[in-house]
């Protein structure tokens, strides 16, 4: 795309436009606020594949009736350190907020706590889900499955989801957080590459014929590859068990079958599924007086290595840049976001996926 195909807006404008679109699609205030916040946070951190690019998918899930935008999450205590947060087929950001509040309290008391977040539609960045816990001085882990897009190591057919996970650890300078898919390339990055006419990274996946390709459109029709071969495949399997089997939620193949009954997998937004969220308090693991200094010393040694960049360094730099320069978006996407919110402003223009 040329420079004329882009637009720069403030993060406040981006949040307001996303909020309006979600309200127009049927979200109540709590769901619209929480969902707009996570999408704009991704934009602020320079992750276009999980920012407003994901808004049309959330809106599609709401518009077709697959997801609800006004369900109040139910919280059930299953054990002293385990809660279930039933999102009642709502969008994931607001139930995740509720889950964070519950397990933060439990982790302070028990040392560790987990939330089984069920019946939600997750479509956003995972680091945003755990950053508030890390900001409170807690460590955190979160993972979720998806629908079949990734071929297990040795296969050429879809089976696993992209099955992302994020881990965070508190530090004196804002915390360490990494977020990664078990696929070699995030699906959103392939979609953006296809949109922009750019090649996929080497080893990103295979086409419908099962042969390796760098054409992102063909990979989207075929199957993505796990990162690191059997190692990424094993992590994808772990996520299926933790965010699916363990908490009684659909695995990727099961979610895929439910989605297939509704039509094309990517036409109606994210599937219904589960999220496993864990928080732990470093103060409760035997080194209350020394863990923070120990972490600082470890990271200092790591940063001293030539060429090393810690996970999250680029994201923090992007957050500072976007705060100064604004959010840069494809003009067509911005028009789509604004159009989707027209009803909330009293307009009558229909939602347009083009």
Which residues does the annotation mark as catalytic? 49-50, 189
Distance in Å from the first CA to the final CA of the chain: 16
Burial of 65 (C-beta count, 10 Å sphere; 0-12/13-18/19+): exposed
Centroid of chain to Cα 115: 17
In this structure, what DSSP letter does residue 63 have? Answer: H
DSSP codes joined into one string, 91-103: ESHHHHHHHHHHH
Using CA atoms of 301, 309, 146, 24 in order, give the dihedral in degrees to the nearest 10: 120
State how far the Cα of 146 lies from the Cα of 143, in Å rounded to an integer: 10
Whose structure tokens read 């360490």?
A: 176
Note whether 145 and 123 are within 8 A (CB): no
| Tokens found for residue 183 | 């696929």
Other beta carbons within 10 angstroms of residue 348's beta carbon come to 6
Centroid of chain to Cα 136: 20
User: Which residues touch 181 (CB under 8 Å, ≥6 apart)?
Assistant: 162, 163, 164, 187, 227
Other beta carbons within 10 angstroms of residue 61's beta carbon come to 24
State how far the Cα of 199 lies from the Cα of 210, in Å rounded to an integer: 18
CA distances from 260 to 128, 131, 237, 301 (A): 29, 34, 21, 50
């Amino acid at each position: 795309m040329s420079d004329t195909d882009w637009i720069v807006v403030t993060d406040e404008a981006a949040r307001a436009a996303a909020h309006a679109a979600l309200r127009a699609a049927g979200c109540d205030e709590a769901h619209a606020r929480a969902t707009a916040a996570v999408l704009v946070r991704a934009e602020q951190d320079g992750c276009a594949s999980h920012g407003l690019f994901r808004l049309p998918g959330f809106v599609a899930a709401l518009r077709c009736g697959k997801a609800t935008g006004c369900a109040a999450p139910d919280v059930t205590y299953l054990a002293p350190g385990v809660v279930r947060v039933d999102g009642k087929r709502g969008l994931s950001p607001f139930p995740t907020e509720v889950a964070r509040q519950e397990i933060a309290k439990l982790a302070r008391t028990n040392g560790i706590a987990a939330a089984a977040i069920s019946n939600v539609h997750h479509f956003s960045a995972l680091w945003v889900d755990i950053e508030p816990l890390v900001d409170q001085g807690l460590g955190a882990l979160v993972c979720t499955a998806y629908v079949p897009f990734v071929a297990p190591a040795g296969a050429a057919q879809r089976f696993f989801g992209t099955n992302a996970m994020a881990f965070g650890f508190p530090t004196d300078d804002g915390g360490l957080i990494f977020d990664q898919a078990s696929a070699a390339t995030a699906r959103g990055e392939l979609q953006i590459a296809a949109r922009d006419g750019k090649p996929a990274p080497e080893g990103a996946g295979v086409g419908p014929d099962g042969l390796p390709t760098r054409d992102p459109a063909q990979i989207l029709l075929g199957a993505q590859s796990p990162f690191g071969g059997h190692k990424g495949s094993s992590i994808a399997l772990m996520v299926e068990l933790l965010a699916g089997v363990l908490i009684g939620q659909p695995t990727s193949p099961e979610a895929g079958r439910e989605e297939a009954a509704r039509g094309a997998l990517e036409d109606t937004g994210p599937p219904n599924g589960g999220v496993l969220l864990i928080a732990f308090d470093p103060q409760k693991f035997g080194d209350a007086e020394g863990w923070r200094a120990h972490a600082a010393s470890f990271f200092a040694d790591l940063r001293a290595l030539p060429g090393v960049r810690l996970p999250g360094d680029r994201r923090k730099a992007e957050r500072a840049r976007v705060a100064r320069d604004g959010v840069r978006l494809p003009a067509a996407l911005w028009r789509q976001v604004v159009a989707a919110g027209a009803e909330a402003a009293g307009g009558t223009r229909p939602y347009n996926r083009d």
